[in-house]
Each structure stands twice: as structure tokens, then as C-alpha cells.
Amino acid sequence: MLKTIIAKEFLNNILNLRFTIGLVLCLIITVACIVILSHDYREELADYSLRVNLQEQALSKYYCINLGVLNVKQKPPERFRPLIIGISGRQNAESFDDSPLPILFPPLDFLFIVTIIMSLLAILFSYDAISGERLSGTLRLVIANSVSRTKILLGKFIGGTTSLLIPFILSLLVGALYISINPSIQWDGSAWLEFFLLTAASITFITLFYLLGLMVSTFSRYSAISILNCLFLWVLLILVIPNVCPYISAQFCRIPSIKEIERKESEVERYSIQVFMERNNETARKFKSQYGELWSEFEAMDFGGIGRFGSVKPEHVKAAQQRAAEDPEFKAMMDAYVVEVEKARDEMSRIRNEGGKFREDLEKKAAFQTNLAKNLACISPLANFVYVARDLTGTGMRSMEYFKLTKGEYSGKFSPYVEKKFQDLQKKDPTATYYSFLDISDRPHFVFKEETLRGKLGAVLPYWGILGLFNVVFFAAAFAKFMRYDVR
């Protein structure tokens, strides 16, 4: 009997106009999105290759330690860019053909199709699964024939989700075919495995909303009331909760503004300079009273300027060195003054370091606020699915953090290499400075590699588990209510 109910629900759905509309809508939007985003991916890939080539030429001809900024770590476009628009931002230089239109009119992507279109279709397929058959009298006839309510509910769930997933799976297959034959998109086995897992996570999300509609239908006696309640819950779960959580988090964990931090840092900077100048002036007065004419002679060489951020000319340095070689007392005074200046500089650095804690505190509070907002948003299935999809495909915040980690690992290899190159150059040419060009043709190259699938799964499984929990809760609520549902 269960198979009969599944077949009946399946046939009723695919013969309904909403199935045809859903199928056409999914095919057109999904294929159009993949084609457009694949074109953008191809342009970004060409832009990335151009930037890498230009950087290689610059490094091979003009690299020196003081121009280390030339060695920018380039991140290639995310390989799932044909499906999902990443949030990593411009880690690299800006594209040569950036257009403002995607900012004014954000293009559709896979996440929009699943979270908006498929969730609404799921509700449209299930909102009258129980209440609609009660109004038509079908439900009472089925139960009168000694069919258990458990089989009815299971049959409606299996048959309904199967018919709902046909447009989605078919659209994805067409999109996957286009990706596989596109020469600019070279997915390896791990990418296709991630695509399969992304599809599975999407199905978990879609069935969740089908169960939401089924649950609401068991709590409603009329289809009109059921659809209104479903749309209210959809707006709450999809639009309200994810967007309100950052504001709630900001109220619980307030952080100072960037302007306020900059103002405090400026005050600390001015105070550190003031302390330095006061100590230097005090040292100058003490040395003037102690050494008299020797100090006046020393000041005439502009050496007193090193305590006031002045620069000492080379001829003055040479004259002071000659004078110190002739007079031990002059040398002792000069050495003692330099020691006092260094103490003042150390005090200034200590004050500045204390001021730097303002920004460290800001970063800690901002990180806590972000994590709080992220965890609060888990109340919404939308947030959990977005976390799963983005982290699984390397288009989210985790990918940005992983890129920073790989950059740090590369810097740990590149810095010792450059230092050794510079030491070798100094052995050959003692006059070499940090502005001297280095031959780094045999340097270690930065190559970004995707995080392992195991690492990604470890990050997304908790959120995927929450999606599964939503399915269980909605089905349990629908089952509990349907067991006492009045079919009259």
C-alpha cells in the first residue's frame, strides 16, 4: 500500500501545472547561471594568468629586498566560480575589466537557486498535501480503507520529494554536462566529489522545506491558511533571521568604531613623541651642564638632532668620529648621549606598543561578534546551508583563512631564501645594500592548493547535521500532529 500512495503522490505532482513551471524555471535559470558564471570565470582566469606573468617578469628583473612587495601571493579564481560567486573579495589586484553592474545587479548563482527558488517550490508542492486532500474528501476515504496514517505520511513525503527533486537534478545534470565539456573549466576528481556532496547537501535543504510545508499542512484545515503560514515561516527563516542576527550580535557585543580606535592611536602616538622629546630635552640640559663646551661642539655637528628625529649628514658623522678618536672625553660623552637617546626611543616604543593593544582588542571583539552572529544565524536553515555550500566549495570565509595560512607558510620558505641570496651577494659585493637587485630565478614559487576534502568535511558536518536535525524535527512534528488530525 505504501508503494501505491507514493505512486499516487508522485503522479499527482508531475501532472500538476506547478511541476511543469518548476521544471522550466529550474532548467532555464540553472543553465543560464552556469553559462554566464562560466564566462566570468574564464575572464577571471585569463586576468589571473596575466597578473602572474607580469609579476614573474618583474621579479626576475627588478626584485630587491626593499621591493619585496612585488612578490604578491596570487590566488586563482575559485574552481566552483561557475556555480557559486565567492565572497573572498579581491585578494589579488583588481581585474582589468571590472564592471560595476554585478554590484548594482547581483547575478544569480547556485545558492540563490537552491535557497530561494527550490525552497519556494518545495513549499508549493507540499502546503496542501494534507489539508488539500481533507477538503476534497480523498483523505477520509483512504483512512476509511484501513490504511495507516504512518504509511500515508511516509508515502506523501517520499512521492512528493521525488517529484520535487526531478527538476533540480535534471537541471544540475545539464549544468554538469556543460561544465564537463567546457575547456576552460578543468575539474579533477576531488572537485566532482565536492559537487556530488554539494548536491546531497542541497537535497537535504530542499527536503527540509518540503517537510516544513507538510508539517504546516497537518496543522491547517484549509489550504489557503496553510500557504499563508508557510510563506510566513519561509520569510522568517530565509529573510528575517539571517539578516537580524548580526544586529542582535552587535547589541550583545559592542565594539568601538574604527574612527574611535584611530583617535586613541593618534593620541598615544602624540603622547609617545611628547615623552620622547621631553626626555631628550632633559638629557640635553643635563649634558650641557655637565660637559659645557664639549656639548656645544657636539650640538654644532647636528648630532643633537638624533634625539629630535633629525638626520645627521655623513660629513658630520665623519667629523664626530675623528673628534672622538682624538679626545676620549668627547667619545665618552657621545656614547653616553646615544645610550640616553636609545632609552628614550625604547620608552617611546613601549608607549606605542601599549597603544597597539587598542586595535588588538578591536580585532578580538570583532571576531567574537562575528562568531556570535554566525552561531545565532544557525537557527535558520539558510545560514547552515550557506556555510556548508561555501566551505565545501572553497568560496567562503574558510577559504580566505586557508589562503592566509598558505601565504604564511610560503613566506616562511621565501624569507630565508631571500636572506641567503642577499648574504651571498654581499660576499661577492661588499657594497651591496637592500636596494641591490637579486637574482631569484630559482626561488620557490607560490602555488595555491585547495584544502583537502577531509578538512572541508570536518568544518561542514556540524552545519549539515543541523540541516538533518531540521528534517527530523519537521517530520516528527508533522507525524505527531497527523496522528490526531481530524479528516472530517
Where residue 309 falls among pLDDT bands split at 50, 70, 90? very low
Mean pLDDT score, 458-481: 94
Q: Output 293 or 123, whichever has higher pLDDT.
A: 123
| Average pLDDT for the chain | 83
Residue 148 pLDDT > 70: yes
CA distances from 5 to 164, 213, 407 (A): 16, 18, 57
pLDDT of 451 reads 87
Give percent helix, percent strand, percent coil of the chain, each to the nearest 5. 80, 0, 20
Alpha carbons 460 and 375: distance in angstroms, whole number? 13
Of 417, 422, 416, nearest to 434 by C-alpha is 422
Measured at the alpha carbon of residue 117, what is the angle toward residues 116 and 119, in degrees to the nearest 5?
A: 70
CB 135 within 8 A of CB 223: yes
Residue 386 pLDDT > 90: yes
Where residue 59 falls among pLDDT bands split at 50, 70, 90? confident
Cell (9 digits) for 127: 502546503
CB 473 within 8 A of CB 408: no
The winner for highest mean pLDDT among 182-191, 326-335, 369-378, 437-446 is 182-191
pLDDT of 398 reads 86
Mean pLDDT score, 246-251: 83
According to DSSP, residue 304 is labeled G
Q: What is the DSSP string of 226-280?
A: HHHHHHHHHIIIIIIHHHHHHHHHHHHS----HHHHHHHHHHHHHHHHHHHHHHH
| Site of grid cell 552545519 | 463
Mean pLDDT score, 2-7: 85
The winner for highest mean pLDDT among 180-184, 277-281, 312-316 is 180-184
Cell (9 digits) for 429: 659585493
pLDDT of 58 reads 77
Alpha carbons 69 and 66: distance in angstroms, whole number? 8
Mean pLDDT score, 149-169: 92
- 310-345 pLDDT, tens digit per residue, is 445 566 667 777 777 777 887 888 888 888 888 888
pLDDT of 421 reads 81
pLDDT of 294 reads 77
pLDDT of 95 reads 46
Residue 206 pLDDT > 90: yes
Mean pLDDT score, 399-412: 86
Q: Which sequence spans correspond to the domains of the chain?
A: 2-252+380-482, 258-370
Alpha carbons 91 and 44: distance in angstroms, whole number? 13
What is the percent of the chain where pLDDT is above 90?
Answer: 31
pLDDT of 93 reads 39
pLDDT of 88 reads 60
Cell (9 digits) for 6: 507514493
Mean pLDDT score, 32-50: 90
pLDDT of 92 reads 41
CB 417 within 8 A of CB 444: yes
b/e map 118-137, b = 16+ CB within 10 Å: bbbbbbbbbbbbbbbbbeee
pLDDT of 168 reads 94
Mean pLDDT score, 170-180: 94
pLDDT of 68 reads 60
Mean pLDDT score, 290-316: 63
According to DSSP, residue 116 is labeled I
Residue 41 pLDDT > 80: yes
pLDDT of 40 reads 87
pLDDT of 159 reads 92
CB 123 within 8 A of CB 231: yes
Alpha carbons 416 and 394: distance in angstroms, whole number? 30
Cell (9 digits) for 15: 501532472
**Element housing 250 (H / E):** helix 241-252
Q: Output 250 or 381, whichever has higher pLDDT.
A: 381
Alpha carbons 15 and 329: distance in angstroms, whole number? 105
Which of 187-191, 335-339, 461-465 has the weakest average pLDDT?
335-339
Name the CA radius of gyration of the chain, rounded.
34
The length of the chain in residues reads 488
Of 397, 418, 276, 423, nearest to 342 by C-alpha is 276
Residue 20 pLDDT > 50: yes
Residue 403 buriedness (CB in 10 A; 0-12 / 13-18 / 19+): middle
Residue 89 pLDDT > 60: no
| Site of grid cell 535534471 | 170
